[in-house]
Structure 1
């Protein structure tokens, strides 16, 4: 505990006490009282700010300069976009606090030492068990799987996670496809993430399936089992189901060595463990001469294979045995490239947003909206929404099947799959339905929350200014490194890859992988281990290059839909904001792991609480009063389907701890009314960057989703200084609102 610490936030300062516990930083201060308030003998209770260590995104310690009388300070940037600065009169105490914060943040080393494993819920939450909210079998049954004539069955071949460690224990596949066929098909998809069902439309029985990228390579490898599986999926709505029992085109006369090896089960596929990282490296040096080609737009009227990546990224991956489907072998579908960038581009985009907000602890001035526009964040959100809208139209209006994949099928794929289902199914727009959607398409299908959210933090996010020790003193608050350094690292990684045995993912040397646990045991291994290692290791650290705001983008895109259709969602904006906070708080076990298998191995359901307990116990706080549950497809405004209007994408200002006027130029939420059905369907901004079928392959690798027009630059400086708001010490269970949320409540 350190006395006489000054907290600075939004240009305001208050003096109080700083208390460090094993899981939280707690700042306590007596709030200033108005002059006209007279003491009534009742002691004034202090107000508190609680900051959980995993939510710290960047920490800078600045010792007292030798030639200055400025006090020592510690500046924190939090992942919920709160920025605070602590000033100390004693430099030695400031250094002790900095080292303690760094130690409790970075030296934890294991997931089961996070706060979720010691958190005791308050009484309102104890009567709930959010872990029981989602049951894969029940949700598939709700969609109509296993009913007679629907053409789908539930496979239990992954019940021990031995087939695909990152996939759920139960998944649905066509009834005409045997588990033996799935075993062979798994060899053709990265990480054995084969095409399986995630959504079956209750009206037309069309499906959304998801997978990882195929292992095509520059030799054009193919798999008869993968082609039969996709043909069966796309043929489930046909009563005769002819595609499920025929050999795909040209395979009867295929005599190449690669095909014969494949049929015999001896094909050696590359050991692929780091597709997103590899994609970034290859694209950085790939000749993007296709950028000058005209964009190809338009919705299709047939079954689609949706590759979420830019065209050039998918083509570059073929050089190392990966890539995208050769549509000569999938004549029953058309392929589109959506041009959604990878995790590294998204992380850099968010960092640019943070650069405009990083001085929020020292100044009350609003962000530079020109710099916000240059970050590209809204362009990325618009592109994701447009891709989801395309999928929803294809399934809901064109009565077609859609397969979605990106590289590994757990980042961009999860975004598109979940958002398109939000557009298609009103159930997922209810409070419980949205929880089921997150459980299914994010937690069960293996999004890497532990890596993307950086729960175990990194020493690289801590620095000491004005000293030779502790890192680069020239880095500004919140910076993650210059562009030149990033390019240098990319070329070094690529050089290491191409100078070694390309069949092994260990050949990437020092490059940061998506999930290093999946590497083969031998550096010269030619094929992946049949049971990749996913057990949480004894000592772990976060690699900054593995982090990315993928789930944040999904919540942001959901906010856009909620804003555009305020009567179609049972939950409110605050629900999304609190969910974003608890993604990083590590108070609950829901978002701590990379797969269903990891949660089972560490017994998360027995040892931690579900984040859904928090929301269910406070349901009234997260319910949208405007929600209209009635569905009437014949009445405008009450349609079953909704579609995003990408030209109306806006800043989710509340999530960034800012006012609507500061980030959106003064437009208030209540001013925008939902557009008519005709308007929403005609003002669609296509996102396709390329179309490919058996007969043609045209398009550009440049993302075509255009960003909404940046708001006009305001010439007025926001008047008034936001008052510093601190939370009340409600209880001792550690359940504290983020500072931005508390400010809204107290106001």
Structure 2
């Protein structure tokens, strides 16, 4: 490295001891504006020509982008102690690394520099993406041009030149004035005018109206998505919203009194054959019903319907509320809620019981606690903590819900509307996963990119808020404890030095600063819990306004591994169907890496409008250029992309998850498969045996979701919530009744460092 290049470094610290991947090495730390570089001496093997000439030593460099740092702990030592001061990093790609410094002042300077470059930037535009110059091979690919909304709708049979298959492309949001978090082009039923959309938008949270995201190419059945309705305690309704949802459910077929016409039935895919799909025939229904009864406790899905549900019927239109029933009902207290099915009698409702962003964030934190010693120990992760995390339970629940949607569309020939709270977290997960199960195109590399662009980026998943690109000072800490400076030793209990003291101090802090969350917090429409002082109403009362830095700053309570979970679910399908995906496991892993690296502009900001305003396409490079330029390294060598044939096993259009085969993704956590999964996945078995959500919701109906060796059909609708839920709903209704407000409650819900001097090795871009 030239002296001119060294001029760019903010800090250069030689002779730092590095612990990573259970190995110890000595390295030089180079701190630049955007990366922490770990430079390790590396001597190539001796010449093979018999000469005495020794090859020149080289330097192996590992780049750690500052936004990749999820936690940084500094442990200083007194100068007279003779012990090392340490900095320990946890990165978002689950790299754990510890740096030991002889000089405490050096260590402190490095810590402050990392902290300043990571979480004191103040603006997204100071991230690496805005200075990164992509190599010519990436620029030649044209990553920004890969997704064209009109081209994708045309692929689905819808053009902007007229009315196709009962749908049209509305330009009501072309300037994003109608719904700032929605894409510019919205596909809506051709029978619905823009004027009706204007009125319907007033009834949906953040004006995120029901709009098309997928149209099945064979049976014309649709997947639409939206946010929650603003039903409130008074049971508010919107005739325009009801008309819009009804039109979505009948856009592609003539429907009379809720029954499909012969035209709809005649368009049935060959996949509708029960025998071909392994579904039970009429003579086998009694046995299937018995199997269904055995599996009722295996799902959080709760079906709400006033109509008999007959197995084999061709149309069972479904409104999917991703939330637990109690959570959806509780949102009525803040003017939101879920559909009153008395006004949507053309459909059935399913509550999936998928937890909110806070539960998912805490779940991943427990996984991190279990695997955190990978820098200092070769011992397997703490299995007890892995079990307690509930991570696999959440992954299974997402796959279960997405399979329900895919089955309704692909087999039951029905329409589905999906929403959660604001329709950008759980809704994006379920919508994208169900399309991945339905459409082989999305299992190709280009198709998967289009799926992410459409259902995540265009439909406004809040990547900036959920990922925390600007980091937070709360994730940087200084530990002045009695054990500071002592050598870190691996232990079977998975505890690093000072963790017990740290936990005790945190517990004491929580005790002296505890508050009653139910009294001191208010609920935002997307399920966030904001302190009263942080709520929008409180800020308006105090007259304070958010600055640009405040709006872009990371709020730790808004971060959550939503997109991570989607990739994990995709990994499960890839592992279970290794010949059905064009991309490989490494593609998914690098995709998660570049979500957090902030090297590309693809995932910056929260929605399409914000990216357009920031001109990211003109000012940054696209992540898709990187993946397509190195396509060979991300291609699945076992991929069989032959002709789709629903009568040939392994070539069917549809695929469904095998829920009892859900497993840990060991490569992502930088662990061996044996360490994470073992010979028997006891974690999965434990949670599949007792899948209850944190509110006690369980015992719903598993509606036609395939398991390893059998398929359970829809049926046996349970009108009464399980005992645990029934009590909570009754208490909630009683509490709401005490407010003296007239209301309609219809539609409610009735998982020792090696001494060898090996260099730190991490796969880099």
Bucket of the pairwise TM-score, normalised by the shorter protein = 0.7 to 0.9
Q: Does 1:173 align with 2:202?
A: no
Q: Bigger shift: 207-216 or 657-666?
A: 657-666
Deviation digits for residues 653-706 of structure 1, max 9, x if unmatched?
A: 1011111111011589xxxxxxxx998575468999x979xxx56457879xxx
Q: Output aligned runs, 1:518-533, within 5 Å.
A: 522-523=540-541
The answer as to whether partners of 2:213 and 2:223 remain within 8 angstroms in 1 is: yes
In the alignment, structure 1 residue 653 sits paired with structure 2 residue 653: no
For 1:40, the equivalent position in structure 2 comes to 53
- Compared with structure 1, are the counterparts of its residues 719 and 504 closer, same or farther at alpha carbon in structure 2 (3 Å cutoff)? closer
Quick check: 2:35–2:66 contact (8 Å CA) kept in 1? yes
Q: Secondary structure at the match of 1:598?
A: helix
SS in 1 for 2:624: helix
2:209 counterpart of 1:197:
no
Pick closer, same or farther for the CA change 1:58–1:169 going to 2, 3 Å. same
Q: Which secondary structure does the structure 1 equivalent of 2:26 belong to?
A: strand
Q: In 2, are the aligned partners of 1:64 and 1:71 still within 8 Å (CA)?
A: yes
Match for residue 366 of structure 2?
352
How far residue 722 of structure 1 moved from its aligned partner, in angstroms, is: 9.9
1:40 CA drift (Å) = 2.9
What is the aligned partner in structure 2 of residue 581 from structure 1? 593
- Corresponding residue for 1:12? 23
1:402 corresponding residue in structure 2: 416
Deviations 1:600-628 (A, max 9, x none): 00000000011000001000000011111
Question: Does residue 252 of structure 2 align to residue 228 of structure 1?
Answer: no
Contact 2:87-2:98 at 8 Å conserved across structures: yes
Distance 1:389 1:511 in 2: 41
Structure 1-normalised TM-score? 0.79
Is structure 2 residue 446 aligned with structure 1 residue 432? Answer: yes
Show CA shifts across 1:560-590 (max 9, x none).
0000111110000000000000010000001
User: 1:659–1:537: structure 2 CA closer, same or farther, 3 Å change rule?
Assistant: same
Alpha carbons of structure 1 residues 546 and 294: separation in structure 2 relative to 1, 3 Å: closer
* 1:197-596 matched pairs, under 5 angstroms: 197-239=212-254, 302-466=316-480, 492=516, 494-496=518-520, 509-510=531-532, 522-523=540-541, 540-596=552-608
- Other-structure match for 1:99: 112
Task: Report the equivalent of 1:122.
Answer: 135
- Per-residue deviation, residues 75-123 of structure 1 (Å, max 9, x unmatched): 0000000000011110001000000000000110100110000001123
Q: Give the whole-Å Cα distance in 2 for the aligned partners of 1:477 and 1:201.
A: 57
Shift of 1:70: 2.3
Instruction: Give the aligned partner of residue 201 of structure 2.
Output: 186
Structure 1 position 138, deviation (Å): 1.1
Change in CA separation of 1:454 and 1:208 when aligned onto 2, cut-off 3 Å: same
Q: Structure 2 vs 1, CA of residues 421 and 294 (structure 1 numbering), >3 Å: closer, same or farther?
A: closer
Q: Any stretches of 5+ residues in structure 1 without a counterpart?
A: 245-290, 526-532, 669-676, 704-709, 711-717, 728-738
Task: Answer whether contact 2:705 2:713 (CA < 8 A) is retained.
Answer: no
Query: Relative to 1, partners in 2 of residues 1:719 and 1:700: Cα closer, same or farther, differing over 3 Å?
Result: farther
Q: Secondary structure at the match of 1:423?
A: helix
The Cα shift of 1:490 comes to 9.5
Pair 1:598–1:489, CA change in 2 (3 A): farther
Q: Distance in 2 between matches of 1:201 and 1:535?
A: 45
Segments of structure 2 that go 5 or more residues without pairing to the other structure are 1-11, 260-296, 304-308, 485-496, 682-703, 727-750
Q: SS at the partner of 2:337?
A: coil
Q: Secondary structure at the match of 2:74?
A: strand
Cα distance change of structure 1 residues 487 and 182 upon mapping to structure 2, 3 Å threshold = farther
Residue 320 of structure 2: SS of its match in structure 1?
A: strand
Q: Across the two proteins, how many residue pairs are aligned to each other?
A: 644
8 Å CA contact 1:58–1:478 kept in 2: the answer is no
Match of 1:84 among 88, 92, 97: 97
Gap change, CA 1:118 and 1:369, over 3 Å in 2: same
Shift of 1:492: 4.6
Secondary structure in 1 matching 2:169 = strand
**Residue 29 of structure 1 contacts residue 47 of structure 1 at CA under 8 Å; is this kept in 2?**
yes
Check 1:361–1:411 CA distance in 2 against 1; reply closer, same or farther (3 A cut): same
- Paired position in structure 2 for 1:70: 83
Contact 1:339–1:687 under 8 Å retained in 2 = no
Distance 1:485 1:176, change over 3 A: farther
Q: 1:611 aligns with which of 618, 623, 628?
A: 623
Cα offset for 1:633?
1.4
Asked whether the equivalents of residues 106 and 456 of structure 1 are also in contact (C-alpha less than 8 Å), the reply is yes
The two structures have a TM-score, normalised by structure 2, of: 0.77
Counterpart of 2:687? Answer: none
User: How far apart are residue 49 of structure 1 and its match?
Assistant: 1.3
RMSD: 3.9
Residues in 2 aligned to 1:592 and 1:323: alpha-carbon distance in whole angstroms: 30
1:456 shift after superposition: 0.3
Shift of 1:524: 10
* Native 8 Å contact 2:706 2:712 kept in 1: no
